[in-house]
Amino acid sequence: MQLLGQDLVNGILAGGILAVVALGFSLVWGIMNIINLAHGAYIMLGAYLTYQLFQTFHLDPFLSLPVSFAALFVLGYLVQRLLINWVARAPVLTTFLLTFGLSLLLVNVALLIWTGDTRGVTTSYSGANFSIVGITIPWAKLYTLLVALAITGVMHVWLTRTKTGRAIRATSMDIGAAQLSGVRTAQIYAIVYGLSAGLAGVAGTLISLSYALTPTMGDPFLIKAFVVCVLGGLGSVQGALIGGIVYGIVEAFATQIDVTIGTQHISGSGLQDAIALVVLLIVLIVRPTGIAGKATA
C-alpha cells in the first residue's frame, strides 16, 4: 500500500514536468498545426543554460527560470520568423522534416559547446526530501510541480483575458477570418512559437534539477509530449496539465512491472517508448478527443 502511494506521488511529481513540456508543444500544434520536433532541443538548451549559469554565477536554478524563458523565447521567435514561417501552412512532411533538421542542428551545436559528457546541476537542496505517512517527497520535485501549476494558471488567464491571447485563439480557429479582422497572423505565429520555445526552456530548467544533462536529453520528452497532448486534449491548457499528471502516474506504475519468463527478464523501465505507444493507441481508439478536449470535426 505504501509502495503504491509512493508510485502515485512519484507519478504526480513527474507529471508536473511533463505538463510544462506538453504545454509548449501543445500551443504550436494546436494553434499552428505544426508538430515541432525541435521542442526536445529547446528543452535541452534550457537545461544547459541553467547548468552554465549555475556553474559560472552560482545562480539558483529557480532564479534562472526567467532567463531560460526569455532566451528561448527570442530564439523561437527568430526561428519562426526567419525559417518556419515560409512553410507554416505546408503539409505534414515539410514541417516535420524542417523541425527535425533544426533539432539536429541545435543538438550538434550543443555537442560542440558542452561535449557529449553527462552533466548535472547539484544544488544544496538537490538530495533533500521529507516524508509524510512513509511517502518520500523530494523538495526539488515538489517546487517543480508548484511552478508547473503556476505556469499553467498564468497561461490560461493570459490566453483568455488579454488582447494578444484572444488574437492567438482567433488565429487558431480560422486564420483567414483572423486576418480579415486585422490580426497580423505572421506576428501571432512568431509569438506563439517563441512562447512555446520559452516554455520548453522553463521545462529544461526544471528538468535539470532532477535529470542528467546530455545533448540528446530532450528526445525522450518529445514522444511523451505528443502522447500527453493527445491524452489531455489538444490545444487545451488544462488538458496539458491533466494529461501530464495522468501520464506521469501511468508511467510510474508501468515502469515498475517486472516479468521473468524462463531466462528472459523483462523490466518495464526499459520499455518507456513501448509504454508511450500503447497509451497513445489506446487513447486514440477509445477517446480521440482526449480527457479535456471537445469533439471537433
Partner 1 sequence: MALLLAVPLTHNGYIEIVFRNILMYATMAYGWNMIGGYTGYVSFGQVAFFGLGAYCSAVLSQFGVDNLLADVLVACAVNGGFAVLVGLPVLQLKGHYFAIATLGVALALTDIIANLDALGGTAGMRLRQVDEAHFSVYYYAMWIVALAAILATYFIARSKLGYAFVAIRENEDAAAVLGISPRRYKITAWAISAMMAGSAGAVFAPANGFLDPSIGFSVDSNVFPIVMALLGGIGTVAGPFIGAIILAGANELLQRYFIKIHTLFFGAMIVLVVLLLPRGLVWLFGLRGGVRTWLKSLTEYKA
Spatial separation of the C-alpha atoms in residues 140 and 114, rounded to whole Å: 24
* Smallest separation, CB 103 to partner 1 (Å): 7
Nearer to partner 1, 11 or 30 (CB): 30
Nearer to partner 1, 189 or 247 (CB): 189
Please say whether the dihedral angle defined by the alpha carbons of residues 180, 182, 186 and 188, taken in this order, is positive or negative. Answer: negative
C-alpha cell recorded at residue 167: 488574437
Nearer to partner 1, 66 or 184 (CB): 184
The reply to whether 75 sits near partner 1 by the rule CB under 8 A is no
C-alpha cell recorded at residue 108: 550538434
133-152 b/e (C-beta count within 10 Å ≥ 16 → b)? eebebbebbbbbbebbeebb
Distances in Å between the alpha carbon of 41 and those of 29, 34, 51, 72, 217? 16, 16, 15, 11, 8
Element (H, E) at 270: none
The reply to whether 260 sits near partner 1 by the rule CB under 8 A is no
Q: Which amino acid is at 265?
A: H
* Smallest separation, CB 185 to partner 1 (Å): 6
- Please report the beta strands in the chain, taking only residues with DSSP state E, as ranges in sequence order: 129-132, 135-138, 258-261, 264-267
Q: Which of 70, 104, 113, 177 binds partner 1 (CB under 8 A)?
A: 104
The residue assigned the cell 515560409 is 86
Nearer to partner 1, 85 or 126 (CB): 85
Q: Which of 56, 118, 263, 296 binds partner 1 (CB under 8 A)?
A: 263
Instruction: Name the segment binding partner 1 (CB under 8 A); options: 4-12, 49-57, 96-104, 127-135.
Output: 96-104
Q: Which of 63, 70, 87, 173 binds partner 1 (CB under 8 A)?
A: 87
C-alpha cell recorded at residue 219: 528526445
> CB pairs under 8 A, 24+ apart, for 185-188?
186/81, 186/85, 188/164
Nearer to partner 1, 53 or 107 (CB): 107
C-alpha cell recorded at residue 292: 479535456
The reply to whether 270 sits near partner 1 by the rule CB under 8 A is yes
The reply to whether 231 sits near partner 1 by the rule CB under 8 A is no
Instruction: Name the segment binding partner 1 (CB under 8 A); options: 27-35, 62-70, 128-136, 205-213.
Output: 27-35
Q: Which amino acid is at 7?
A: D
- x-marked contacts with partner 1 along 116-145 as a string, rule CB under 8 A: ------------------------------
Phi/psi at 189 (5° precision): -60, -45
**Residues 51, 184: contact at Cβ < 8 Å?**
no
Interface size with partner 1, residues (CB under 8 A) = 53
Residues within the interface to partner 1 (CB under 8 A): 29, 32-33, 35, 83, 85-94, 96-98, 100-109, 112, 175, 185-186, 189, 223, 226, 230, 263-267, 270-274, 276-278, 280-281, 284-285
